[in-house]
Amino acid sequence: MLRISVMNTKGGCGKTTVATNLASYCACQGYATSLFDYDRQASSIRWLKQRKSGRPPVHGVAAFAPPPEGVTRSWHMRVPENTRYLITDTPAGYGLVDMEDRVAETDVILIPVLPSFIDIHSTADFVRDLLLIGKARAHNTQLAIVTNRTRIRTRAVEKLERFLQQLDIPVIARIRDTQHYVAAAERGLGVHELAERDAHKDMESWAALLDWLDSGGEDIGRSPRLLKNASR
Ligand SMILES: Nc1ncnc2c1ncn2[C@@H]1O[C@H](COP(=O)(O)OP(=O)(O)OP(=O)(O)O)[C@@H](O)[C@H]1O
Ligand SMILES: [Mg+2]
């Protein structure tokens, strides 16, 4: 089982969008997929509730909630035995203790980032915290960036990509800015499940992401340049 957490302390950067679309993409490829939601806003769980029973299934767990009475935490958190991908959605403003726990329990951290000055800089702080406080290196957790709401050849995207090169963390997928994501979210679907004419453009992003995950990624937790620049 590959454990993937979608994290960024910055709100609204696309954590739930990435978690739910990746979950639906993996499920549609025929893989047993589970989706944990650690966010009290329960957006991923709400997405799952909208998903029609005929769609390729995603097993959901409201990980933020205490187990129902008479149920142990481990039973509450169990996933089907054949689960191939366990995808976790996390809240904005994750505390440092929670962050360390999450890093210890995950193989890959996907970090969505928007092409804006504020988001770029708060993401850099978050990545430093992951490496220094979350001890991503010690746990051998792989980090990867997903740029979200990108429009090709805008100056903001160019700036974002230049900045990300300095972090030495691979950009493994670029997600288009399109209302398809909003429409899909309402129906508990991934954007690739919509019958839109240009859906193949979005499909490429998710296929690239899954390819990278399946290839085992790169060992980029050990980023000397980032550690040298780290302020704490
Ligand atoms: N690529 C995209 N194109 C268009 N809209 C998008 C895209 N990605 C996200 N959105 C929209 O932006 C909003 C925020 O996205 P999302 O909920 O995924 O962010 P989040 O990081 O999970 O937020 P939070 O920190 O509140 O949990 C949502 O309304 C979502 O539908
Ligand atoms: Mg969210």
Q: What is the CATH number of the domain that holds 45?
A: 3.40.50.300
- Distance in angstroms (rounded) separating the CA atoms of residues 114 and 185: 18
Query: pTM (2 decimals)?
Result: 0.92
CA distance 139 to 89: 19
Question: If you measure from the C-alpha of residue 69 to the centroid of ligand 1, how many angstroms do you get, rounded to a whole number?
Answer: 33
What does the mean pLDDT of the chain come to? 88
Which protein residue's CA is at the shortest distance from atom 18 of ligand 1?
14
pLDDT in tens, 159-180: 887 888 887 788 899 999 999 9
Ligand 1 atom closest to the CA of 177, numbered from 1 = 3
- How far is the centre of ligand 1, averaged over its atoms, from the C-alpha of 18 (Å)? 8
Q: What gap in Å lies between CA 114 and CA 86, rounded to an integer? A: 24
Residues 2-20: pLDDT tens digits?
999 999 999 999 999 999 9
Q: How far is the CA of 224 from the centre of ligand 2 (A)?
A: 31
List the domain range (segments joined by +) for residue 43: 2-229
Residue 66 CB: number of other CB atoms within 10 A?
9
How many domains does one find in the chain?
A: 1
- Ligand 1: which residue has its CA nearest to atom 15? 14
**Residue among 6, 10, 17 to mutate when testing ligand 1 (max atoms within 8 A of CB):** 17
Which CA distances in Å does 67 have to 34, 41, 94, 152? 17, 17, 21, 45
Q: What are the angstrom distances between the C-alpha of 171 and each of 33, 79, 210?
A: 23, 29, 13
Q: Which atom in ligand 1 lies closest to the alpha carbon of residue 185?
A: 31
Q: Could you give the percent of the chain with pLDDT greater than 90?
A: 66
Ligand 1 centroid to residue 14 C-alpha, Å:
4
Ligand 1 site residues, Cβ closer than 6 angstroms: 11-17, 39, 43, 92, 148-149, 175-178, 181-182, 185
Tell me: the pLDDT tens digits for 61-86? 999 999 999 999 999 999 999 999 99
